[in-house]
Structure formats: C-alpha cells, structure tokens
C-alpha cells in the first residue's frame, strides 16, 4: 500500500462498512450496488483514459461478455459463479487483445470509433446468439464463496464494494510503479517514451486488457446479483454512461471514477421527485459541472484543498 | 562503435540522406553539422530507429541495428534527446528520470499491483538512482517541479538526465544548445565533456552553435543536402573549401 493514499483508503473502507447500518431501505442499497458495479467499470476506463490517454467507447461490450459468459457457464454447465467469472474475465481479455492489435495503432477519435464498433458487435451478438435473444434470460445462480451464498442486498453491497476497494488499491499501486509512470509518460509523449525503451503498443494493450477485465468482473457480478440479464443493459448507452462518470468525476484521478460512478448512478434516482423535469435537471447538472469543473469533481476538489488556482 | 554505411533515405521525391557513411569511435565526441534541411535530424531518427533506411546499414558494436525499432535500440545502449524536447510535461522532474530506468527494471502489472517485496525494493532503487542522477546534473532541488514548468535550459539538461538513467553507452543529442543563452551554452559544453570523461559515454550531437561544436568535438561530419561533404577535426573543417561553400555568405561562421 502506498502511504499517501492511506487516509483515503481508511475513510473509504469505513464508509463501506457503515453504509448498510444507516441505510435500511433495500431500494437505496440496490442503487449503491449498481454504483459499485459502475465504479468498477469506470475505474478500468479511468486507468485507460486518464492515465494512459486512450479513449474507449466499448466498455459495455466487455461488461456484456462478463455477464453473459459467466451466466451461461454457471447456469448451463453448473460451473461455480466465482470460477465462471474468472473464465469470463479471460474471454474478455482475449477479446481485448484481438481488438487492441489493430485498434491501438489508431489514435484519438479513431480508437474511440473502433471500440464503439466493437461494443456494437458484442451487442448484436448478444441479441442474436444469446439465450432468449433480445428478451434475455433468468434463473442465473447467486454467487457462493467458501460455502457462503450471497443472497441479500447487504451481502451484495459488501461484496461489490470490497471488490472495488481491493481493485482501487491494486490500481493505485500500479499507478505508483514503473508501469504507471510509463503509462503517464505515454500520455505526455509517445516519442519520448519509446526512446526510453517503453514498448508503447504493448503497454497500451496491457492497460486495455486490464480495463476489459474490470468491466468483465462488473458484468459477472451484475449477472449473479440480478439473476436476469438481457442485451439492452450492455448497449452503447452504457459505454457512454461510463465515459460520463469518468469525465464528471475527473479522469486524472481514480477516485474521480468512483465519485463519478456514484453521482451518475444515484442522480437520476434522486431527481425522481421532480417528475417530468428530472431529465432536464440531470442534463443541466452535467452541463454545468463540465463548464465549471473542467478537470472533474475530484481533481478540482483536490486543487481547492491544496490551494492551487 | 557506431558505423553508418552507405545510408539512403527518401521521403516521397525528396532524398534526405544520400549514401552517408562515417564512424563514431568509442569515447569520442562527434558533431554532425550542416545547413538547415541537410538531413541531420533524419539521420538521428534513422540511427535511433524512428525511420528505417531505404538502403545501407547501421551497426552498433558489430550488431546491425538498422532494422530495429526505437525500443530495441534503447535496450542496446543508445539513448537520445530531441530537438523539440520530448519530456513528460505533466510528470515531475524526478518522475521523468525514473521513466529512464524503465528498461533497467522489470516489475510487471501483478507485482506492481500487489506491491510484492521485489517490486518495492526495485522501486526504491529506481528512486535512489534517479535522485543521484539529478544531483549529478544539478537539478536535485527542482525534483518535484513539473517538467513542463521548467525553463528550456533546464528541460534540455533534464532530457539528458533522463537519457543517462538508461545507462547508455552512446548519447545522441539533437541540438542540445538550442534556446540556451551564452552562459548556459558554456555550462553545457563543460557538461558534455564531463559525461564523456567521467561516465565514459560516446557522444554524437547535432548542433548549430559553432562555438560549442568547435569547442567540444573531436571530430565533425558535415552534411549538405543529404550528402556528406566533409569529415575531420575542427581545424580541418574550419579550412575546408566545400564547407565554406556550403555555408556561403555566413562569414562569421567559426
């Protein structure tokens, strides 16, 4: 663990531990679970975008692979959900590698379009070949770990947020290592990085694979939590939503991805009481935060604390 | 140490390098000069693997390197700086040098993510060595500044420091004095000599500042329109008729 994050880690784990004690409504708890799922995908995209400087609009594709592969393996072949989730992550990695070889040669918007195309392909495949077609399928078994079966919302809340917690430590450790420095170096100058012996395409591919694994784990968790999946969850809309979370929260910080995921997931629910005005207010909040918090919520907040600008 | 043998490079219809051959001996400071557009930076890019030569070969310590990419060439011990400075602007001065240790370290995603003991020791060593290098080049007190916020003179020194972190056998410096004032240029020439003498690094540099070139070079190669027109010691070059013709009108050249 890197010391400079220690305080944030402690605060974060305390919030996770005590949240279910204060929130009794299972509805609110389920929103918090979805926020955790989204935070996981957003963290992967944040590593890719904020640190390595690559945009992806295909994260929903990996999310879908994680959900479908794990659900099918556990439902039809009786593989325990944790194992099936690992296999799904492997499948997502292979898909990411195949996509990365041509796509990471592209820069900027071209890469975004290529990943967008990938997401659409997965979406079409799920619709055409997935069990139940567009209407999806249910009866997916719950996760069980060492004989303990995760059924209640509280169980799932702790499981997803502990996964998020562990992976945020894992991710920050990577950022504070030679790998992370090389990622940020690529972001600033590819020419300079390769002259320092950093294999730019290889490193981009690895980060892309890591982001796919995060999204896949989120997808598997989703399938075994909701126990019913259909393709519409994994459409382009979700990729854009994840991108919005990273941008709103602040792409230059992993905490931004988590905060962005919580806000974007919870905001529509919080705005329900405004009835038909909710979409309008939602749009207004996003627009204003992009106008006034250019770097995103978390980096702006950190700058304020440090008294910069 | 470095042998350039009949190298050609064309871009579309323009011949940037025409049958260029010369050698750089171990421990030498060699300068590559010539008017703008003579092909100096192109030759640097061919040596460091950014471009492949159309014809001809480049060998480094008896090994052909003309078909290798920049990453492999960096691994062999050739490091370079850039005319328009390719630092990592949003990273600190220290982090820039630490990236230079990339090829000398090996922790991967898993050992880094889990902070395994081997990785922690390696990272500590990277930091210690990088601070040592910053001390050597005189930038230690600026280690926490963002590289992009530094004045150009310090950026050029930092770029050399970053290259030193790769423990190069040979340094390619592309216009290291460009943007520097007279005092900084004098410091730079002392610094380059110090690198050769203390660190045993062979230097090949492209430079327009003739004062610097004449002061530090053991040997000079002159390019003009992609062709080598002269090679020799600073004294020989000073009196070479072809060189004077190429720089016609620049009477105060030397």
DSSP sequence for chain B: -EEEEEEEEEETTEEEEEEEEEEE-TT-EEEEE-STTSSHHHHHHHHTTSS--SEEEEEETTEE-TTS-HHHHHHHTEEE--TT----TTSBHHHHHHHHTGGG----HHHHHTT-HHHHHHHHHHHHHHHHHHHHHT-GGGTTSBGGGS-HHHHHHHHHHHHHTT--SEEEEESTTTT--HHHHHHHHHHHHHHHHHH--EEEEE-S-HHHHHHH-SEEEEEETTEEEEEE-HHHHHT-HHHHHHTTT-TT--
Closest CA to A118 of A193, A194, A73, A63: A63
- CB-based contacts of B86: which residues, under 8 Å, 6+ apart? A189, A191, A192, A195, B159
Question: Taking the model in full, what pTM does it have?
Answer: 0.91
Residue in chain A nearest B45 by alpha carbon: A195
Interchain CB distance below 8 Å, B90 and A184 = yes
Interchain CB distance below 8 Å, A195 and B101 = no
Interchain CB distance below 8 Å, B80 and A195 = yes
CB pairs under 8 A between A and B: 97
Q: Does A196 touch chain B (CB under 8 A)?
A: yes
Q: Rounded mean pLDDT of B87-115?
A: 95
- Of B74, B119, B122, nearest to A195 by CB-CB distance is B74
Which of A302-306, B90-94, B181-185 has the largest mean confidence?
B90-94
User: Cα dihedral sign for B28, B34, B38, B41?
Assistant: positive
Q: What is the ipTM of this complex?
A: 0.90
Contacts B69 to A, Cβ<8 Å: 194
pLDDT band (50, 70, 90) for residue B254: low
More confident call, B36 vs B5: B5
Mutate to test the interface with B, among A192, A207, A295 (most CBs of B within 10 A): A192
The confidence score (pLDDT) of residue B124 equals 95
The confidence score (pLDDT) of residue A309 equals 47
Interface of B with A (CB under 8 A): 48, 50, 69-71, 74-75, 79-80, 82, 86-91, 95, 98-103, 105, 107-109, 112-115, 119, 122-123, 126, 162, 166
Residue-wise pLDDT for B151-171, tens only, equals 999 999 999 999 999 999 999
The confidence score (pLDDT) of residue A148 equals 86
Residues of chain A where predicted confidence (pLDDT) is lower than 50: 309
pLDDT band (50, 70, 90) for residue B249: low
- Of A1, A185, A197, nearest to B71 by CB-CB distance is A197
Q: Does A206 touch chain B (CB under 8 A)?
A: yes
- Of B69, B99, B112, nearest to A196 by CB-CB distance is B99
User: Cα dihedral sign for B43, B48, B50, B54?
Assistant: positive
């Amino acid at each position: 663990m890197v010391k400079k994050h220690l305080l944030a880690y402690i605060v974060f784990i305390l919030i996770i531990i005590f949240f279910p004690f204060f929130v009794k409504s299972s509805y609110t708890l389920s929103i918090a679970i979805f926020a955790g799922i989204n935070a996981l995908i957003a963290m992967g995209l944040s590593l890719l975008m904020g640190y390595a400087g690559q945009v992806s609009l295909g994260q929903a594709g990996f999310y879908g692979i994680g959900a479908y592969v794990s659900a099918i393996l556990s439902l039809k072949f009786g593989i325990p959900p944790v194992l099936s989730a690992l296999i799904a992550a492997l499948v997502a990695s292979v898909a990411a590698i195949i996509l990365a070889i041509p796509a990471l040669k592209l820069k900027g918007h071209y890469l975004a379009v290529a990943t967008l195309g990938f997401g659409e392909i997965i979406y079409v495949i799920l619709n055409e070949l997935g069990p139940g077609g567009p209407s999806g399928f249910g009866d997916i078994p719950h996760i069980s770990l060492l004989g303990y079966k995760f059924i209640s919302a509280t169980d799932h809340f702790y499981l997803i947020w502990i996964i998020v917690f562990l992976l945020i430590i894992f991710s920050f450790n990577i950022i504070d290592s030679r790998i992370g420095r090389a990622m940020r170096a690529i972001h600033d100058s590819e020419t300079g990085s390769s002259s320092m012996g950093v294999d730019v395409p290889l490193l981009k591919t690895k980060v892309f694979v890591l982001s796919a694994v995060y999204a896949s784990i989120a997808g598997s968790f989703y399938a075994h939590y909701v126990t019913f999946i259909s393709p519409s969850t994994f459409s382009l809309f979700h990729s854009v939503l994840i991108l919005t979370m990273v941008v709103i929260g602040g792409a230059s910080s992993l905490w931004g991805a988590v905060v962005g995921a919580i806000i974007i997931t919870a905001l529509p629910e919080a705005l329900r009481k405004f009835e038909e005005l909710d979409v309008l207010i939602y749009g207004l909040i996003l627009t204003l935060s992009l106008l006034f918090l250019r770097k995103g919520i978390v980096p702006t907040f950190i700058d304020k604390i440090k008294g910069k600008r | 140490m470095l042998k350039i043998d009949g190298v050609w490079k064309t871009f579309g219809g323009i011949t940037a390098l025409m049958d260029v051959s010369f050698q750089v001996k171990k421990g030498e400071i060699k300068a590559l000069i010539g008017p703008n557009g003579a092909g100096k930076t192109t030759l640097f890019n061919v040596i460091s693997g950014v471009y492949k030569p159309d014809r001809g070969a480049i060998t480094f310590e008896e090994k052909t390197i003309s078909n290798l990419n920049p990453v492999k060439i960096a691994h062999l011990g050739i490091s370079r700086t850039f005319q328009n400075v390719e630092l990592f602007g949003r990273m600190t001065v220290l982090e820039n040098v630490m990236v230079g240790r990339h090829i000398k370290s090996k922790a991967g995603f898993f050992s880094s993510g889990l902070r395994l003991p081997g990785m922690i020791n390696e990272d500590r060593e990277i930091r210690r060595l990088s601070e040592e290098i910053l001390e050597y080049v005189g930038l230690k007190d600026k280690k926490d500044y963002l590289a992009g916020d530094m004045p150009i003179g310090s950026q050029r020194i930092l770029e050399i420091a970053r290259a030193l972190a790769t423990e190069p056998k040979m340094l390619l410096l592309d216009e290291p004095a460009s943007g520097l004032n007279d005092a900084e240029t004098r410091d730079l020439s002392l610094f380059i000599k110090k690198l050769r003498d203390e660190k045993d690094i062979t230097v090949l540099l492209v430079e327009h500042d003739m004062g610097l070139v004449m002061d530090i070079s053991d040997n000079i190669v002159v390019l003009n329109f992609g062709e080598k027109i002269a090679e020799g010691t600073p004294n020989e070059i000073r009196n070479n008729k072809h060189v004077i013709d190429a720089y016609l009108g620049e009477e105060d050249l030397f």
